[in-house]
A and B are shown apart, each in its own frame.
Chain A
Amino acid sequence: STGGKRRQQNRNRSTQPQDGSRGLGPADYNSSDQKTACRRHELYVSFRDLGWQDWIIAPEGYAANYCDGECSFPLNAHMNATNHAIVQTLVHLMNPENVPKPCCAPTKLHAISVLYFDDNSNVILKKYKNMVVRACGCH
């Protein structure tokens, strides 16, 4: 529902190839496709800015990252597209009103460890899975 406005915004984005990008070179695809392609963006969650240093001992924050961009045909332009994303794209092309395009979403997530005090001043070191987006792709 926000496609028109969103596409307009996306066209203005700068090209920033994702780590480990493969496939065809920039000349093989329309440059606007490259600019709007699904990719990972940096987003840092700062525990320090939240004023949580009194109970979080480490880290000060973590690079959570997020995924954003278009997942449009051809999917080779996008890294880490799942096989089913191709099916989703085909069905979308046949019925664009009712079937959405594949989504730009994380394909690789990593864990972080957080060291913090609880209410009793005991210390907890805990590993949290799926906190950091390492790679994005089309699903």
Chain B
Amino acid sequence: VDGNNEVHPGFIHRRLRTHEKREMQKEILSILGLPHRPRPHLSQGKYNSAPLFMLDLYNTISSDEKSQVEGLLDRYQSTRTTQSPPLTTYQETAFLNDADMVMSFVNLVEYDSEFSPQRRHHKEFKFNLSQIPEGEAVTAAEFRLYKECVSPTFRNDTFQLKVYQVLKEHPDREADLFLLESRSLWAAEEGWLEFDITATSNLWVMSPVHNLGLQISLETSSGQSITSKEAGLVGRDGALEKQPFMVAFFKVSEVYVRTTR
């Protein structure tokens, strides 16, 4: 079709045969670097927090083609809560400027594991990073949790939120944990909380057997252990658009070579 919306006279019109159509679809999938057409299991998936967050990023970069990366960075920064630390380091900004793929991961844990009495309020999160295309290296990764304003019982309190990487699981005793971050939260604050898990994600991508997930724990200022729900953190039973997820930024580290067919 030309600029006047008229069909180009030299264009040969014919309907593709079924096998030609299939081959053409394979070629387009190959251009997209996909071995086959993905078959996601979506119930309400499109309205979940991760796809909505990613769609926001997409809309921003699509609306400003000239400054795609800057747009991505701006949008990304604007999604952060006022209470959370800004992207201040030169290294973080450089990572985001370099990103040519962003990927979000849904939390796979349906129910929390049976933890010991000491860790009975720990909450577990697991993400599948096994399908990262070859040649993609993690430049930045964040674990995102949504916090709502809590009930009046704790309104003037502060909580200590700790995020751990699970190092090793044992059948007869508690898992070995590595503290990634400890953060104070106001009970009344509301919005997304982001935790830098770049190093952890890199380990998981390079060595999938070490991907045993994350755990979080919460304590009041008096040291009392509380559940994440009591602290206002949205879990599986919460709103779809506030579900926890992780997001990772990647950079192509190898020249992409199309496979021989």
Contact = CB atoms under 8 A, between A and B. Distances in A.
A52 B37 CA distance: 8
Given A117-B42, A127-B100, A122 B68 contact: no
Contact of B131 (A9, A45, A52, A118): A118
Interface of B: 1-4, 6, 8-11, 25, 28, 31-33, 37-42, 45-46, 50-51, 54-55, 57-59, 61-62, 65, 68, 100-106, 128, 131
A90 interface: no
A134 B40 CA distance: 33
A111 B66 CA distance: 11
27 contacts: A41-B11, A54-B42, A55-B37, A57-B46, A57-B54, A57-B58, A58-B55, A58-B59, A68-B10, A113-B58, A113-B62, A113-B68, A114-B32, A115-B58, A117-B38, A117-B40, A117-B51, A118-B38, A119-B40, A121-B45, A122-B103, A122-B104, A122-B105, A123-B104, A125-B103, A127-B61, A127-B68
B2 A125 contact: no
A128 B29 CA distance: 12
Given A57-B51, A119-B131, A41 B57 contact: no
A52 B106 CA distance: 21
Contacts of B131: 118-120, 122
A119 B100 contact: no
A96 interface: no
Nearest to B38: A55
Interface string A2-28: 000000011011101000000000000
A106 B59 CA distance: 27
A13 B37 contact: no
Interface residues of A, number: 37
Contact of B50 (A44, A123, A126, A127): A123
Contacts of A59: 62
Contacts of B57: 125
A10 B12 CA distance: 12
A54 B40 CA distance: 8
Contacts of B28: 45, 50
